[in-house]
Structure 1
Amino acid sequence: MATPTKIHLTPETVGVLNLKSQNSDTAAKASELLQENHEKHHIFFNQEGFHNHIVHHLLTLYGLGASTSQIERAYKDNANYQRRPVPVEEKVVEDMHNPSNFKKYLGKEKYYHDFLIFFQTEMEKKGWEKVFQEYLFAGTEQANDIFGRMYAGFLHPIIHLGFGIEFQQPAIMCEAIAQACAHDLWTSKYLFSVEEAVNSNLPKGIKTIPQLLDEIKADKKLSSAAHWSDANKIRDGILIRAPSEMRSIASQFSCTPKNLKEKTVEMTNSAIYFTAAAQNPLKQVKFDFYYMHCVNSSIFFPTFLSLPWLSEENKVRLLNFKVWLDLAMYASRASPELLLDEISTYVPAKLPAETAATNGQGSMKDTEWPGIFERFFNYPDDGHAVKLGRAVANGERVSKEYENEEWCKIKGFMWEKIGNMVIDSVEDSGATWARSVGFPEAWEEYEDRPRRAQL
Structure 2
Amino acid sequence: MKIHSFRSIGSKTHQTNRITNIIQTRPINRPLRALSLSFSPLYPPPKPRSQLAGLRRASPHFASYSSIPVSETQNPAMATATKIQLDPVKDAGVFSFRVQENAARVASQVLQEDMEKHHVFFNQEGFHNHIVHGILTIYALGGSAEDIQAHYDRNKSYQRRPYPTKQDTVKAMEDSTKFQQYLGKGAEYANFLAFFQHAIDTKGVGEVLQEYVFSGDHRAESMLCRLFGGLIHPLIHLGFGLEFNQPAIVAQALAQAAVHEEWMGLEFFLPAEKLAGGIGKPGKKTLLQLLNEIQTDQALKSSVKWSDVNKIRDGILVRAPQQMLDYASQYTVSKDQVPQRLSDMINTVVYYASAAQRPDKEVKFDFFFIHCVNSSIFFSKIMDLPYLDDKSKLRLLEWKGRMDLVMYVSRNSPNLPLNEITQYPAKADWETLFSRSAAHPSDDGHLAKLVRAVAHGQNVCKPFEKDGLPISGDMWLQIGNMAIDSTTGKEAMWVRSTGFDEAWENLSERARL
TM-score, normalisation: structure 2? 0.83
Counterpart selection for 1:42 from 119, 122, 133: 119
Counterpart of 1:153? Answer: 230
Q: CA deviation at 1:301?
A: 0.2
Kept in 1, the 8 Å contact 2:361–2:508? The answer is: yes
- In 1, distance between residues paired with 2:352 and 2:310? 20
Q: How is 1:13-412 mapped onto 2 (pairs within 5 angstroms)?
A: 13-23=91-101, 25-189=102-266, 190-199=268-277, 205-348=283-426, 351-352=427-428, 368-380=429-441, 381-406=443-468, 408-412=469-473
Q: Which amino acid aligns with 2:145?
A: T
Indicate yes or no: 2:505 matched with 1:448: no
Q: CA deviation at 1:88?
A: 1.4
The one-character-per-residue Cα deviations of 1:347-400 (angstroms, maximum 9, x if unpaired) are 24xx33xxxxxxxxxxxxxxx100111111221210100100000001101000
Kept in 2, the 8 Å contact 1:204–1:251? The answer is: no
Counterpart selection for 1:10 from 87, 93, 99: 87
Counterpart of 1:427? Answer: 488
- In 1, distance between residues paired with 2:319 and 2:166? 41
Counterpart of 1:358? Answer: none
Q: CA deviation at 1:213?
A: 1.2
Single out whichever of 114-123 and 213-222 deviates more from structure 2.
213-222
- In 1, distance between residues paired with 2:220 and 2:262? 13
Kept in 1, the 8 Å contact 2:368–2:407? The answer is: yes
Kept in 1, the 8 Å contact 2:212–2:223? The answer is: yes
Indicate yes or no: 2:495 matched with 1:417: no
The one-character-per-residue Cα deviations of 1:50-82 (angstroms, maximum 9, x if unpaired) are 000000000001111110101110001100000
Structure 2 residue runs without a partner (length 5+): 1-77
The one-character-per-residue Cα deviations of 1:309-328 (angstroms, maximum 9, x if unpaired) are 11111111010000001100
Kept in 1, the 8 Å contact 2:143–2:439? The answer is: no
3-state secondary structure, aligned to 1:212: helix
Kept in 1, the 8 Å contact 2:142–2:435? The answer is: no
Q: CA deviation at 1:235?
A: 1.0
Kept in 2, the 8 Å contact 1:221–1:242? The answer is: yes
- In 2, distance between residues paired with 1:344 and 1:419? 12
- In 2, distance between residues paired with 1:218 and 1:282? 23
Structure 1 residue runs without a partner (length 5+): 353-367
- In 2, distance between residues paired with 1:145 and 1:92? 19
3-state secondary structure, aligned to 1:136: helix
The one-character-per-residue Cα deviations of 1:391-446 (angstroms, maximum 9, x if unpaired) are 0001101000000113x110001000000000000014421100000000000011
Q: CA deviation at 1:144?
A: 1.2
- Count of matched residue positions in the alignment of Structure 1 and Structure 2: 432
Displaced runs of 4+ in structure 1, greater than 2 A?
A: none
Q: Which amino acid aligns with 2:320?
A: A
Kept in 2, the 8 Å contact 1:430–1:445? The answer is: no
- In 1, distance between residues paired with 2:282 and 2:411? 26
3-state secondary structure, aligned to 1:370: helix
Q: Which amino acid aligns with 2:179?
A: F
Identical columns (%) = 48
The one-character-per-residue Cα deviations of 1:7-58 (angstroms, maximum 9, x if unpaired) are 01122111111121321x3221111100000000001101111000000000
3-state secondary structure, aligned to 2:368: helix
3-state secondary structure, aligned to 1:4: coil
- In 1, distance between residues paired with 2:118 and 2:506? 33
Kept in 1, the 8 Å contact 2:228–2:235? The answer is: yes
3-state secondary structure, aligned to 2:161: coil
3-state secondary structure, aligned to 1:255: coil
Cα RMSD after superposing both structures = 1.4
- In 2, distance between residues paired with 1:294 and 1:3? 29
Q: CA deviation at 1:204?
A: 5.7
Kept in 2, the 8 Å contact 1:14–1:64? The answer is: no
- In 2, distance between residues paired with 1:185 and 1:18? 33
Kept in 1, the 8 Å contact 2:169–2:191? The answer is: yes
- In 1, distance between residues paired with 2:99 and 2:171? 43
Q: Which amino acid aligns with 1:144?
A: E
TM-score, normalisation: structure 1? 0.93
Single out whichever of 210-219 and 78-87 deviates more from structure 2.
210-219
